[in-house]
Amino acid sequence: MNPYLILPLFALFINLWLFTYVLALKGKHRVVHLYLFYSAALSLWIISIILYWSFLPFHWMTWIFKISSISWLLVGPLFLEFVFAFLSKNPNIVLYLLRGLALAIFPITLTTDWIIAGVERKYWGDMLIQGPLYVYGINLLTVSPPVYAIFLLIFESRKEEIGFRKQCYLLAFGTFLSSVLGFLTTVLPRILSKGDLHYPPLSGSVTVIQSACVFIAIAKYGFLEIRLEKIALQLYAKLREGVILLSASDDLLYWNESAKEMLGFPKMTATPEKLDLGKFLEGFTRRPFSRMDFKRKFSETKKVSSDEDMLPSSDSVYLEVSKSEIPISGRDLGRVYVLRDITEKKEASERINMLYSRVIRDLDIAREVQNTITTRDFPSSEKFKIFSYFRPYDRVGGDVLNCSESADGSLEILFADVSGHGISSAMVAAMASISFNVFSRKGNKPKEGLLFTNDLLSSVVTQHFISAVFLKYNPNTRILEYSYAGHHAGLLLRDGQTLDLQGKGGVLLAVGTPILEDFQIQLKPGDRVLLYSDGLFEVRGSKGIPMGNTTLVEAVKKLSYQDSDSLIRSLVSYSESFGDGIMTDDLTLFCLEITA
């Protein structure tokens, strides 16, 4: 065996090993493909050197040299092509010119002696005899492309992030050493000694230096995205979410097992070349979107009922699809789709919507019930007028306004506010209203009516308390009896003045038996008694400061010249304006106007 073959055989082993390594882990994008083409041409060049140095029959060698010249004629342009793609540069006239020259010189090499004039046997093997165009061709196609590529790698990467620059520098360094050693041992001696060589040329074999630098770049910095791609694919493969990577023309570049399952593919199915998601997802669109929900096609819907409810269930599959564009290589853009199975979420949402509809329907029924136990049509008389306003915070509220008229024409009125708002407050309000209906028209004192309500509800209501005012007005004597249970004072509008309706008392349901008192006042024609719930003055301004009862009383003083109906509506408008239209509680107003 020729001992000089050790060098090209070692170089071939390293290059083929790197080629296999990249091929095994490669992604389906142009940059890696171009590197593999370049590496294949490089390996063919080294195989050609092995043939040159194997002392084959001498009469074969001229044609072996001419035919194998295609490998070293293409190496330079292929490497430059790869560098252009790696740097995401569009091909320029230099690259187009080198492509054309490489393809044009090969037929010239085969049919003439202008490149290879013959073969000469040396002690290390056979060496070509150069034709008149050999040096020009080798310099143009083998030497100049790496030089230009090194310039591009250093110049174009100077503004990139540090990891990418290190990849470029390693590739440029390996290419520079290989090119210099190849030029010094192959091209320069031919120029200086007029085509003769006295020792084995190292061109081709020294590319092992470049291969070593490429491997370091892959292992240390993720060159060609191979190491990072391997980590990413291992990560994506274990994700529960489906991951699909498509090219701009719908070529399937990658998908994981979760994506196959979500689209309905059997686990052992072969990977298709192309994937049209519109065939698997109803309403799928190619228009830009970041996230949308789709129903998978070919699913049969059915309903399952139980003894507990009649809520729908189905075997349909719903997928949430997130989409984003991602650079594949150079200026080529691909699309990443992340699929999440939201079937359970969708079904739960439908169940919640149905339950919510039921709750709304029940609330509407509760509102109707509350309307029936809340006085809307007040007694009419020539001796008094009654005005009111009622608006719950939600569909039902915790305010109570109930009025009844006894046989002698006396009025009994319960004005109450249950703590909180919503369904539970409305239930307590309903119970308080029913208690009032049971107690009224018995001729008892207002304090007794409040204590009756407290005793009746204290055993069943534990999470709420009630502030209330119980009024009893005799239109014949114009005497107003009343009792407070923790409620703020009502207002007496008399002769242009706004006065507090004096009195106080303990809150209902807060302690065992509240301390209450009866009060009375003699009214006269023109007097107005105004009661209102705290929702009227607890609204907050733009800076978060509540209005407060004092501010509201000042507003009543300024508006007291208005008739009762207008006064009530003006106070509501004032409260809404102060709170920017945002309510914080139920809103109820009551006005008793003495006419005669």
367 falls in which pLDDT band (50, 70, 90)? Answer: low
Residues 6+ apart with CB under 8 A from 321: 277, 281, 284, 291, 292, 293, 294, 337, 338, 339, 340
3-state helix, strand, coil in the chain (%, to 5): 45, 20, 35
Angstrom distance (rounded) from CA 220 to CA 226:
11
Amino acid at site 248: A
Evaluate whether the domain defined by 3-227 bears CATH number 3.10.20. Answer: no
CA 13 from centre of chain:
49
Instruction: Give the mean pLDDT of 161-179.
Output: 89
Q: What is the CATH number of domain 374-594?
A: 3.60.40.10
CA neighbor of 117 nearest in space, from 189, 190, 53: 190
For the stretch 390-438, pLDDT in tens is 888 777 778 888 898 887 888 999 999 998 777 778 888 888 888 888 8
Angstrom distance (rounded) from CA 76 to CA 143:
7
pLDDT of amino acid 312: 43
Radius of gyration in angstroms for the set of CA atoms belonging to the chain, rounded to a whole number: 47
Specify the higher pLDDT residue, 86 or 269. 86
CA neighbor of 336 nearest in space, from 346, 328, 347, 344: 328
For the stretch 123-140, pLDDT in tens is 999 999 999 998 888 889
Query: Is 60 exceeded by the pLDDT of residue 64?
Result: yes
Residue 522's H or E segment, with its range, is strand 519-522
pLDDT of amino acid 500: 93
Query: Is 70 exceeded by the pLDDT of residue 55?
Result: yes
Residue 497's H or E segment, with its range, is strand 497-500
304 falls in which pLDDT band (50, 70, 90)? Answer: very low
Please state, in angstroms and as integers, the Cα–Cα distance from residue 205 to each residue in 7, 82, 199, 241, 553, following that order: 6, 20, 14, 48, 100
Instruction: Give the mean pLDDT of 62-73.
Output: 92
Alpha helices in 224-309, H assignment, sequence order:
226-238, 257-263
pLDDT of amino acid 187: 87
The answer to whether 379 and 410 have CB atoms below 8 angstroms apart is no
Range with lowest mean pLDDT among 59-63, 161-165, 181-185, 312-316:
312-316
HEC readout, 46-98: HHHHHHHCCCCCHHHHHHHHHHHHHHHHHHHHHHHHHHHHHCCCCCCHHHHHH
pLDDT of amino acid 250: 85
Query: Is 80 exceeded by the pLDDT of residue 252?
Result: yes
Helix (H/G/I), strand (E/B), else coil: 127: strand
Residues 6+ apart with CB under 8 A from 410: 472, 473, 474, 475
Please state, in angstroms and as integers, the Cα–Cα distance from residue 248 to each residue in 35, 81, 236, 255, 282, following that order: 22, 22, 21, 15, 21
The token duo for 140 is: 């143009």
Residue 120's H or E segment, with its range, is strand 116-121
Specify the higher pLDDT residue, 309 or 238. 238
Helix (H/G/I), strand (E/B), else coil: 372: helix
Specify the higher pLDDT residue, 300 or 455. 455
For the stretch 19-49, pLDDT in tens is 888 887 665 667 888 889 999 999 999 999 9
Evaluate whether the domain defined by 239-349 bears CATH number 3.30.450.20. Answer: yes
Instruction: Give the mean pLDDT of 170-186.
Output: 92
Domain boundaries, the chain: 3-227, 239-349, 374-594
Angstrom distance (rounded) from CA 514 to CA 508:
6
Angstrom distance (rounded) from CA 230 to CA 446:
84
Greatest Cα-to-Cα distance within the chain, rounded to the nearest angstrom:
143
305 falls in which pLDDT band (50, 70, 90)? Answer: very low
With a pLDDT cut of 70, the percent of the chain lying above it is 89
pLDDT of amino acid 237: 61
pLDDT of amino acid 369: 65
* DSSP character string of 323-346: EEEEEEETTEEEEEEEEEE-HHHH
DSSP state of 183: I
Angstrom distance (rounded) from CA 407 to CA 1:
133
CA 89 from centre of chain:
33
* Helices first, then strands: H and E counts in the chain: 16, 18
313 falls in which pLDDT band (50, 70, 90)? Answer: very low
Angstrom distance (rounded) from CA 145 to CA 296:
52
Instruction: Give the mean pLDDT of 288-300.
Output: 78
CA neighbor of 180 nearest in space, from 149, 206, 213: 206
